[in-house]
Amino acid sequence: MHKRKLLRTVAAAALAGSLGLALAQDNTFKVGLILPLTGPFASTGKQLEAAVRLYMAQNGDTVAGKKVVLVVKDDTGQAEITKRLAQELVTAEKVQVLAGFGLTPLAMATAPIATQSKTPMVVMAAATASITEASPYVVRTSFTVPQVVTVLADWAAKNNIHKVVTLVSDYAPGVDSETWFGQRFVALGGTVVETLRVPLRSPDFAPFLQKVRDAKPDALFTFVPAGVGTALMKQFSERGMDKAGIRVIAEGSVTDDDILDNMGDVALGVVTAHHYSAAHNSAVNKSFVEAFGKANQGARPNFMAVGGYDGMRVIYEAARASKGEGGDALLQAMKGQSFESPRGPMTIDPQTRDVVHNIYVRKVERLGGQLWNTEFQTFTAVKDPAKMGK
């Protein structure tokens, strides 16, 4: 009798214990943030993490009555690691959302895990058009490469650029850049005389730049991912190509705000198209740039930071609407969100889950002693052209 009572008490305590645990879990909303925080693409991870933390500092860590817990993991920029970390975050940590993804292959490796586990996956950095099609659980807050390079092709064709050589990093967003810029530019009467692809890792631009020089184009069109533009521009100037009258036009990652001011005069006059410049003239952006600088020893936020900041906003608002539920309810609440970002107005297209926002044509200028991407033309509410009719 006594023994049975004891057993009952033990069982009740165990039940209460596991209930307590379940309750504790119910009271958290976990975001698994996977980023390259070391290795060649660490600048992307650092910008993004800083912006995510800024959003949380400004908006509190409670949403729908739950405590937001950020679990940050470093994938070093390698897809097998991203995939393993995503699997662990979903199964062991039971995160409600996966976020980050500094490069396209890292997002692509994770997409099947998002699908299998029905976990919304917010792509805050990677920009190849097809990423949103890799899983119905992907939502993108960065940008798409076709979205920006087609705008640049329109600008180039109207501004006395007839003959270009393209030089891109040899992986998915580079191929998107080459294809979408080239097709639009040729359709508008331009000529692409040569298409060059340079390895993504440890690129040596010299032999490629020699080919560009020999082809004597009006302009070099180029794409390299965030953080890599300094090496490219340095080698461009070392070969005297700016002096030889070859202009540079580029996907905006090349003059990324994180590194732009250290590029020196060779960057002056480089024309790019992109969705975000730290020089964007709006009250929302000014306060974002100021707050980011204050929290990060004066650092300037780049477009990666904005992708992270807006991504957190999409996650917070969705969690509020789903009352802290994950899965399909959370995904549903991400679709169609529309708000003013530091980049300008943006919407998550409810059909494609991709970002619709303004694309700006910019040129590098020295203002107040520093280099900035000055926006001088705006294409409003640009959808990803790779998804037209979808």
Supply φ then ψ for residue 363, to 5 degrees.
-130, 150
By CB under 6 A, the count of residues binding ligand PHB is 10
Q: Virtual CA dihedral for 357, 303, 330, 133, nearest 10 degrees?
A: 70
Angle 316-50-311 from CA coordinates, rounded to 5°: 30
Whole-angstrom distance, CA of residue 112 vs CA of residue 116: 6
Only segment of 123-131, 147-155, 259-267, 372-380 that touches ligand PHB (CB under 6 A): 123-131
Q: Which of residues 231-260 bind ligand PHB (CB under 6 A)?
A: 253
Angle at which helix 145-157 crosses helix 172-187, to 10 degrees, equals: 30
282 within 8 A of 344, measured Cβ to Cβ:
yes
String of DSSP letters for 113-166: HHHHHT--EEESS---GGGGGS-TTEEE-S--HHHHHHHHHHHHHTTT--EEEE
Q: Which of 99, 124, 226, 314 binds ligand PHB (CB under 6 A)?
A: 226
Residue 174: name the closest of 123, 136, 129 by CA. 129
Q: Which of 31, 126, 161, 334 binds ligand PHB (CB under 6 A)?
A: 126
Q: Which of 225, 301, 308, 326 binds ligand PHB (CB under 6 A)?
A: 225
128 binds ligand PHB (CB under 6 A): yes
Residue whose CB is less far from ligand PHB, 128 or 141: 128
As measured in angstroms, the least distance from the Cβ of 104 to ligand PHB is: 4
Q: Which of 47, 82, 104, 150 binds ligand PHB (CB under 6 A)?
A: 104
As measured in angstroms, the least distance from the Cβ of 253 to ligand PHB is: 3
138 binds ligand PHB (CB under 6 A): no
As measured in angstroms, the least distance from the Cβ of 75 to ligand PHB is: 13
Residue whose CB is less far from ligand PHB, 130 or 332: 130
Contact residues for ligand PHB, defined by CB under 6 A: 103-104, 125-128, 173, 225-226, 253
